[in-house]
Homo-oligomer: A and B are copies of this chain.
Amino acid sequence: MIQKFSEIKIDTEGQRLINISKKIDDFVEKSKINYGILNLSILHTSASLIIQENASKDVLIDLENFFNKLVPMNDSLYLHTLEGKDDMPAHIKTSLTNTNLSLSIIKNILKLGTWQGIYLFEHRIEKHLRSIFCHIIGEK
């Protein structure tokens, strides 16, 4: 059994889906693990992780709009308003998506579908530095 782990840092600039596939691919390649399972944990509760289409930018905009409509920034809806009008909606959006993802590694390559990309989904409107913990268990 080999284990490799690393914390990846991502600068975000407001609500957006950020494709992090390349950074994760680099970590997998560097690990030299051929067969294993990768676990990703975002270490926050106001940004999340999803696997989504990697081709159309409109899909990303539509996702962002859908979630903003579903979880409005309206202080009258929430008790927790101290940290800004976008904070409680960010927590809710995180709970509707994922904080953790597990993926297969086969022949040192992430097993994703042709159209799948890994995204950090930033839900806050200000700049943030986000940490994603990457951990592989596997063998050569």
Contact = CB atoms under 8 A, between A and B. Distances in A.
Interface string A99-134: 111111010000111111000000000000001010
Contacts of A66: 71, 77, 92
A29 to B, nearest CB: 19
A39 interface: yes
A45 B56 CA distance: 12
B39 A102 contact: yes
Q: How many copies does the complex hold?
A: 3
Nearest to A80: B58
SS of A interface (majority): mixed
Contacts of A131: 113
A111 B35 contact: no
A74 to B, nearest CB: 12
Given A37-B39, A63-B95, A96-B96, A52 B45 contact: yes
B43 A111 contact: yes
A111 B80 CA distance: 26
Given A1-B1, A112-B43, A50 B95 contact: yes
A18 interface: no
A56 B80 contact: yes
Contact of A1 (B79, B112, B135, B139): B139
**4 closest cross-chain pairs (CB), A and B:** A43-B113, A58-B80, A58-B79, A104-B135
